[in-house]
Amino acid sequence: MGTNWLPLQSFPREGRRLVLDDPRVWEDPIAEFGLACRIVEPLRAQMQIFPQDRGVLFRGRLTGTIVLPCVLCTEDSLVVLDQRFDSFEPFPADPALREERDESPAHEVDEAVIRITPHGGYELNPAGLAWEEFSLALPVNPLCREDCRGLCPLCGANRNREDCGCERPEGDPRLACLRDVVLAGKQKNQDAARGRDAEEKDHGCAAE
Ligand SMILES: [Zn+2]
Ligand SMILES: [Zn+2]
């Protein structure tokens, strides 16, 4: 991740304005996390950072345009970002203090954003803040278009472009496994009935 640790003491109480438009701020973590994301219009985060007693308050705006794979057909899904944010990042607890209070490491805050210096001060990584906001701004289910028809589950054809003509599986595919269970159960009953028929012929009572 693009890192540029700034000592928080250097930030005035009334806030400091920062603009992050170096492509590496996003390109490095995109590569690091293997994110299928392409930047088509430069990403830019402008923020105002206010040091507080227990953490850092930051407000700003993130803009840019990216391409993500559509969740249904994997074709390009264009995502225009224009996100305002207003967040608070608490200071990480001093490791020595935390041990004393027997706090679990689960309370640990993201060390990629704020860290404690060996001298007991704090350092801030604005690129980490920008990346956090970027991650939050990403759509969970990007679509190439509202009515994307997805890929054919049988032959893999993109149904937005062609009608492959495959027979659609009957019923709700999510219930297919249940249907198999029911069929298997029925089969078992029939087998059992057949077995019984062989033993006692003309019993006359079907197990259907
Ligand atoms: Zn699609
Ligand atoms: Zn098909």
Q: What is the pLDDT of residue 204?
A: 47
Q: Which residues, by Cβ under 5 Å, contact ligand 2, an ion?
A: 152, 154-155, 157, 164, 166
Measure 120 CA to ligand 2 centroid, in angstroms. 63
Q: Do 10 and 55 fall within a single domain? A: yes
- Do residues 190 and 97 both lie within one domain? no
Distance 191 CA to ligand 2 centre (A): 36
| DSSP 8-state secondary structure symbol assigned to residue 122 | E
Query: Which ligand lies nearest the alpha carbon of 74?
Result: 1
Rg of the Cα atoms in the chain: 29
Ligand at minimal distance from the CA of 165 is: 2
Residue 164 is assigned to a structural domain of this protein? no
Is the domain of 128 the same as that of 186? no
Specify whether 122 is located in the same domain as 194.
Answer: no
Q: Which two tokens stand for residue 107?
A: 């309370």
Residues 7 and 105: their CA atoms lie apart, in Å, by 24
For residue 158, tell me if it sits in a domain: no
Residues 126 and 187 grouped into a single domain:
no
* Residue 148, domain member (yes or no): no
Ligand (nearest to CA of 72): 1
Range of the domain at 49: 6-137
Give me ligand 1 centre to Cα 146, in Å: 8
Tokens of 129: 């803040």
Minimal CA–CA distance to 57: which of 82, 17, 90, 12?
90
* Per-residue tokens: 144: 């190439």
Ranges of residues in the chain with a pLDDT under 70 are: 1-3, 95-110, 168-208
User: Do 36 and 109 sit in the same domain of this protein?
Assistant: yes
| Residue 29, in any domain of the structure | yes
Distance CA 22, CA 2 (A): 9
CA–CA distance, 90 with 113 (Å, rounded to integer): 10
Among the listed residues 90, 38, 97, 96, the one whose alpha carbon sits nearest the alpha carbon of residue 68: 38
The residue behind tokens 């009935």 is 193
How many domains does the chain fold into? 2
The answer to whether 141 and 147 are in contact (CB under 8 A) is no
- Other CB atoms within a 10 A radius of the CB of residue 151 amount to 18
User: In this predicted structure, what is the pLDDT of residue 203?
Assistant: 46
Residues 20 and 85 in one domain: yes
Which DSSP helix (H) or strand (E) runs through 177?
helix 176-199
Can you point out the beta strands (E) in the chain?
6-7, 16-20, 38-51, 55-69, 76-90, 114-116, 122-124
- Could you tell me which residues come within 8 angstroms of residue 139 by beta carbon, excluding any fewer than 6 positions away? 68, 77, 79
Q: How far apart are CA 203 and CA 94, in angstroms?
A: 82
Q: Are 76 and 69 in contact, with CB atoms under 8 Å apart?
A: yes
Does the CA dihedral 145-146-149-153 come out positive or negative?
Answer: positive
pLDDT of the residue at 118: 86
In a domain, 193, yes or no: yes
The residue out of 92, 114, 137 marking a domain boundary is 137
Q: Do residues 95 and 197 share a domain?
A: no
Task: Tell me if 96 is assigned to some domain.
Answer: yes
